[in-house]
Amino acid sequence: MSESMARLREFTFTLTYEPGEDQVVDVFHDHPNLRASTVDVTTGQTSCVRLVQLTGPPEAADRLETTLADRDYLPRAIGTDRCCGTSTSYRLECSARRRLIYAYVGDVCDCRSIHNVASDHLDRGTIFESCNHAGRERWRLLMRSDEEVGALYDDLETFCRDGVSVEVGHIGDATEWHGDAVVDDDLTGSQREAIEQAAARGYYERPRAITIGELASELDVPESTLSYRLRMAESRLVKRYLDRFPASDDATLV
């Protein structure tokens, strides 16, 4: 296989923050329905571009966006110091339950962040994906070589301060893109909100915790409108799944 067709390697791990350890993560502790996904691409030893997507209740998303803006969308230190630098941010999308923000981050000081620790071991152009929820950050690093991953993980364990712990996931070939929530979400805002609310209130549990009529009443929308939004969202998600994981020719129904 030519070098141009070689697969990227991926390294995954999870950081867990105790309450009170980080101002940003505390927002997730306080709002368990809030999520944030971030895709960063390093552009130099001290710079990167970021796409940050926030989803959740409007008041929680507002609080998180304000906190991130106060921190200039800079990487967060896992050690005892705080990262400094400069940033310029732009809103790409804004709705009640969803925000998408682009930020260029530069002149980052020599702090112990995931990005800075990784830059000591990985090539420029590494992609950092992270998903934040309820005090846990799931990280996925896409890189050209994993020769330095062992040393990288040792440094992460060493530099994590008390109250922040790291757990290794896996190392392997990167076989798919996980950033759909940021760059390839074809659900409309109303469809996404409908399916999120339905899932949060137990509509997809077995047995169902709520009927579609009760859900429509709680959301103050006509039942027919809610039903249509859910059907459209479900249809698009199923098609996306089948496109990504096509059935083999010899697949049979059981």
pLDDT number for residue 247: 58
pLDDT number for residue 4: 52
pLDDT of 177 over the 70 cut: no
Does a structural domain hold residue 249? Answer: no
Are 92 and 155 part of one and the same domain?
yes
Are 92 and 112 part of one and the same domain?
yes
Return the structure tokens found at 36. Answer: 């944030």
Distance in angstroms (rounded) separating the CA atoms of residues 227 and 224 = 5
Q: What is the DSSP letter of 44?
A: E
Could you give the percent of the chain with pLDDT greater than 90? Answer: 47
Instruction: Please report, for the domain that includes residue 207, its CATH number.
Output: 1.10.10
Picking from 41, 178, 49, the residue whose alpha carbon sits closest to that of residue 101 is 49
Return the structure tokens found at 74. Answer: 């800079």
Letter for the amino acid at 223? E
pLDDT number for residue 163: 94
Asked which of 30-44, 63-77, 138-152, 184-198 is least confident by mean pLDDT, the reply is: 184-198
Picking from 52, 157, 170, the residue whose alpha carbon sits closest to that of residue 112 is 157
Angle between helices 189-200 and 223-244 (to 10 degrees): 90
Are 153 and 194 part of one and the same domain?
no
Are 22 and 121 part of one and the same domain?
yes
Give the helix, strand, coil percentages of the chain, each rounded to 5. 35, 30, 35
Phi/psi at 55 (5° precision): -135, 140
Are 164 and 223 part of one and the same domain?
no
Does a structural domain hold residue 251? Answer: no
CA dihedral 165, 169, 171, 173 (to 10 degrees): -130
pLDDT of 55 over the 50 cut: yes
Does a structural domain hold residue 67? Answer: yes
pLDDT number for residue 90: 94
Asked which of 19-23, 126-130, 132-136, 176-180 is least confident by mean pLDDT, the reply is: 176-180
pLDDT number for residue 235: 82
Environment class of residue 134 by beta-carbon count within 10 Å: exposed (0-12), middle (13-18) or buried (19+)? middle
Does a structural domain hold residue 250? Answer: no
Does a structural domain hold residue 17? Answer: yes
How many separate domains does the chain show? 2
Are 156 and 91 part of one and the same domain?
yes
Residue found by looking up tokens 């459209």 in the block: 232
Element (H, E) at 238: helix 223-244
Are 159 and 38 part of one and the same domain?
yes
Does a structural domain hold residue 235? Answer: yes
pLDDT of 251 over the 60 cut: no
Taking the complete model, does pTM exceed 0.85, yes or no?
A: no
On average, the pLDDT of the chain sits at 85
Per-residue pLDDT band for 184 (boundaries 50, 70, 90) equals: very low
Domain-ending residue, one of 179, 203, 223: 179
Domain assignment of residue 213, given as a range: 186-244
Cβ neighbours of residue 109 under 8 Å, at least 6 residues apart?
46, 83, 84, 85
Are 217 and 95 part of one and the same domain?
no
Q: What is the mean pLDDT of residues 194-214?
A: 90
CB distance 114 to 140 below 8 Å? no
